[in-house]
Amino acid sequence: MKKKAISSGIPKNNLAIIVFIGFAISFLINFSKFLALFNPTLSYWDEYDVGSVPIYLSRLILFTIFCSFILYSNVATFIEDKFTKINRVLLVIVQITYNIIVAIICFYIFIAFTKFVQSSIDKTEYRGLKYAWGFMLILCFFIGTLLKFKIKQKAIELEKEQLLKYNLQSELKALQNQLDPHFLFNSLNSLNYIIKNLPEQATSFVSKLSGIYRYILMSKNREMVLVNEELDFLSDYNDLIKVRYGTNFEVIIDLAPKIKQVAIPILSLQMLIENAIKHNEVSKEFPLLITIYNDSNNIIVKNKIQQKMSPVHSLKEGLLNLSKRYSLLKGKKIEIINSDDYFEVKLPV
């Protein structure tokens, strides 16, 4: 996954925030003027048209536009994009210089507009407007810089989340791809046994095997399946196992109806049954019984430990695969209990 640079564009919701803050600053600066509309004895740097609604509204709008523009200039990264080769200190100096130049130009445009509306501006009002303009510039500069920092932090966090999600999906895909060859290898071993020992059942075995593989292929992109669907698949899978072991192999399922509607990673139960068969003796003297039941929080797969005469070399890939898939898909850990007599795996629901 290629790492994307943080965009210099500003999302629409952030633009709305910028305009709102600009309006709030403008309203704050013009607050005494606002009060003067209701009480003409209050002043706002001067007494000129203190109660004039048009003048108040024009200043409120123009101040809002100025504050929003300065905020936008400090939140956007076009200056950083333009001067990519200079150090951080020089970049701040360039940003401040740009803000001052823009503020001066906007101020004289505002003064020209005000003179046009009011015909003239006395020295007291001019000085008050200049101080207000400078205050708005400084306030917008610091608020804009803080907003940019917050937006960058959010973008970085989002990028990390997307990268983590991509990595998890890649890891999950790799784990799922292990299922096919692992299952096929064991199925072909069973088929080899049947052809040699029970050739009359080979056709039925192949037919059921194709149905099982169809289920795996159709569920490839689903990642999770309902327990009920997994049990339907497990029924066919158990039939295949019984072709080889007959009555020496049995699976008893006792799950509550609500548990059957829970989603679990595909082939979770099949993998645990396969693991039990791999590590335990299955014979007339030692029939293997696997029970699948539930408590309030888990699906439990349990079997009696019947060690084979010849120990099976195992890398424990099946349980490791299941554990990782459970962690990635459900954010929960499976619990493995290996006592002297029983082997038990709890799948959180």
Q: Say if residue 226 is in the same domain as residue 312.
A: yes
Q: From residue 149, how far is each of 76, 144, 153 by CA, in Å?
A: 11, 9, 6
Mean pLDDT, rounded, for 129-143: 85
In the chain, how many domains are there?
2
Whether 183 maps to a domain, the answer reads no
Averaged over 244-268, what is the pLDDT? Answer: 90
Q: Are residues 256 and 160 in the same domain?
A: no
CA distance 209 to 306: 27
pLDDT of residue 77: 72
Residue 169 is predicted with a pLDDT of 62
Which residue, of 164, 186, 208, is where some domain finishes?
Answer: 164
In a domain, 174, yes or no: no
Q: Which of the listed residues 114, 142, 164 is the one where a domain comes to its end?
A: 164
Return the SS3 of 92: helix
Residues 129 and 39 in one domain: yes
For the domain that residue 246 is a member of, what is the CATH number?
3.30.565.10
Residues 227 and 332 in one domain: yes
Domain assignment present for residue 178? The answer is no
pTM of the model: 0.52
Q: Output the pLDDT for position 336.
A: 93
Domain assignment present for residue 18? The answer is: yes
Residue 248, pLDDT score: 92
User: Is the same domain home to 335 and 204?
Assistant: yes
Same domain, 157 and 292: no
pLDDT value at residue 305: 92
Residues 145 and 202 in one domain: no
Please indicate, yes or no, whether residues 235 and 341 belong to a single structural domain of this protein: yes
Section 48-68 average pLDDT: 75
Of 122, 147, 164, which closes a domain?
164
**Element containing residue 174 per DSSP (H, E):** helix 123-197
Do 334 and 212 share a structural domain? yes
- The CA R_g of the chain, rounded to the nearest whole Å, is 37
User: Can you give the residue range of the structural domain that contains 144?
Assistant: 12-164
CA distance 62 to 55: 11
Same domain as 145, residue 241 = no
pLDDT greater than 60 at residue 2 = no
pLDDT at 42: 47
Is residue 136 in a domain?
yes
CB 32 within 8 A of CB 44: yes
In a domain, 176, yes or no: no
* Percent of the chain whose predicted confidence (pLDDT) is above 90: 16
Q: Do 149 and 19 share a structural domain?
A: yes
Q: Evaluate whether residue 325 is within a structural domain.
A: yes
What is the mean pLDDT of the segment spanning 169-176? 58
Reply yes or no on whether the pLDDT at 337 is more than 70. yes
Residue 119, domain member (yes or no): yes
Contact 326, 318 (CB under 8 A): no
**CB proximity list for 43: less than 8 A, separation 6 or greater:** 32, 36, 50
Same domain, 313 and 241: yes
